[in-house]
């Protein structure tokens, strides 16, 4: 029997693709831009790249499906993403940023395909480790010449959108609990995330 929950995971991925295509490269900051422009750029930037968008949705979807304390890994992701963003304003450079962003899609997609519970602490570490690279990738587009207040506004916008994307994933995951067909729909979403990650790594 057809159940509407079967459409949740494909609908989430389709919406993610449409949102990324609509925003294009995201808002860009220039010398002289203020905190409001930075906030808007931060709000839009996480949905401007499909790799970032799919990773956050996939993590949220898995947390909603498999965990009781669903919010801890997404919060760890958001916090470590902010840390990675802040690192771009220091002399420290993270290696292999884009490959690690693509690898996060493989990891989060695999979690959806396997549909295995991890200890919450391990899930937080996994999410946080990949989030450092996501944050650093976001921060590399921020002009270093802009004031600190503008940078903090940019970070606030990014964290807000990141948490919203995780919340969407968690909500969809919770709605898909308890059904065999829904579980397979979530696995297909995981395969799609892994496929995109593999293409990004190969590119």
81, with CB counted inside 10 A (0-12, 13-18, 19+), is: buried
Query: From CA 25, how far away is CA 39, in angstroms rounded?
Result: 16
Find out whether 123 and 104 touch, Cβ atoms under 8 Å. Answer: no
The CA angle 178-183-186, to the nearest 5 degrees, is 130
Find out whether 186 and 65 touch, Cβ atoms under 8 Å. Answer: yes
Q: Where are the domains of the chain?
A: 37-90+99-202
- Percentage, residues of the chain above pLDDT 70: 84
pLDDT (0 to 100) of residue 179: 74
Query: From CA 31, how far away is CA 187, in angstroms rounded?
Result: 45
pLDDT (0 to 100) of residue 100: 98
pLDDT (0 to 100) of residue 17: 52
Query: From CA 53, how far away is CA 63, in angstroms rounded?
Result: 16
pLDDT digits (tens, 9 = 90+) for 146-195: 889 999 999 999 999 999 999 999 999 998 887 777 888 889 999 999 99
pLDDT digits (tens, 9 = 90+) for 122-142: 999 999 999 999 999 999 888
Q: Quickly state the pLDDT bin for 24 (edges 50, 70, 90).
A: very low
- The model's pTM is 0.86
- Percentage, residues of the chain above pLDDT 90: 65
């Amino acid at each position: 029997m057809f159940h509407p929950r079967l459409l949740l995971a494909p609908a989430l991925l389709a919406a993610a693709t449409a949102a990324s295509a609509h925003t294009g490269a995201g808002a860009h900051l220039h010398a002289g831009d203020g905190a409001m422009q930075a906030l808007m750029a931060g709000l839009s930037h996480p949905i401007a790249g499909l790799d970032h968008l799919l990773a956050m949705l996939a993590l949220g979807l898995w947390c909603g499906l498999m965990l009781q304390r669903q919010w801890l890994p997404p919060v760890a992701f958001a916090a470590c993403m902010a840390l990675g963003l802040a690192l771009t304003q220091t002399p420290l450079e993270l290696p292999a940023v884009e490959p690690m962003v693509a690898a996060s899609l493989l990891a989060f997609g695999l979690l959806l395909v396997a549909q295995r519970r991890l200890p919450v602490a391990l899930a937080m570490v996994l999410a946080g480790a990949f989030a450092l690279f996501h944050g650093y990738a976001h921060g590399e587009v921020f002009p270093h010449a802009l004031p600190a207040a503008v940078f903090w506004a940019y970070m606030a916008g990014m964290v807000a959108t990141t948490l919203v994307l995780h919340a969407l994933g968690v909500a969809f995951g919770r709605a898909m609990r308890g059904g065999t067909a829904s579980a397979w729909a979530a696995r297909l979403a995981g395969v799609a995330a892994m496929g995109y990650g593999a293409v990004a790594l190969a590119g």
